[in-house]
Amino acid sequence: SQQGEEDPQALSIQEGENATMNCSYKTSINNLQWYRQNSGRGLVHLILIRSNEREKHSGRLRVTLDTSKKSSSLLITASRAADTASYFCATDAWTNAGKSTFGDGTTLTVKP
């Protein structure tokens, strides 16, 4: 079974709006990562947040992690049409050494 589950499955917004997607997981983790996948392409790493961190920023991206609720959120501010893609969270756990477990993703559509 998948460790991480993204919510919502699909999100459609207008350019300039903010997009928020969530990831929930079941067991304790070491790190949580977010990836982007453009249609027909491989995944691209966006940001990694460690279990002892609560928030991290990278450009227009803001990631939060709440280990007590076993959840993370990815916020994309001032979205652009080029942000249209699928977004996946991946969890890394000490019990799963060497491997990340990916969720099923959130498909984001940003309308111009």
- Tallying the residues shown for the chain, one arrives at 112
Single residue of 2, 12, 14, 18 touching other proteins by CB under 8 A: 2
**Which tokens go with 89?**
């969270």
* CA dist., res. 6 & res. 59, Å (int): 22
The answer to the question of residue 41 lying near other proteins (CB under 8 A) is yes
Which 68-97 positions form the footprint of other proteins (CB under 8 A)?
88, 90, 92-94, 96-97
Q: How many residues bind other proteins (CB under 8 A)?
A: 27
**Which tokens go with 42?**
């491989």
Single residue of 20, 22, 24, 30 touching other proteins by CB under 8 A: 30
Report the residue number, 14 or 38, with the smaller CB distance to other proteins.
38
* CA dist., res. 68 & res. 63, Å (int): 16
* CA dist., res. 52 & res. 30, Å (int): 9
* Residues lying near other proteins in the complex (CB under 8 A): 2, 30-31, 33, 35, 40-45, 48, 88, 90, 92-94, 96-105
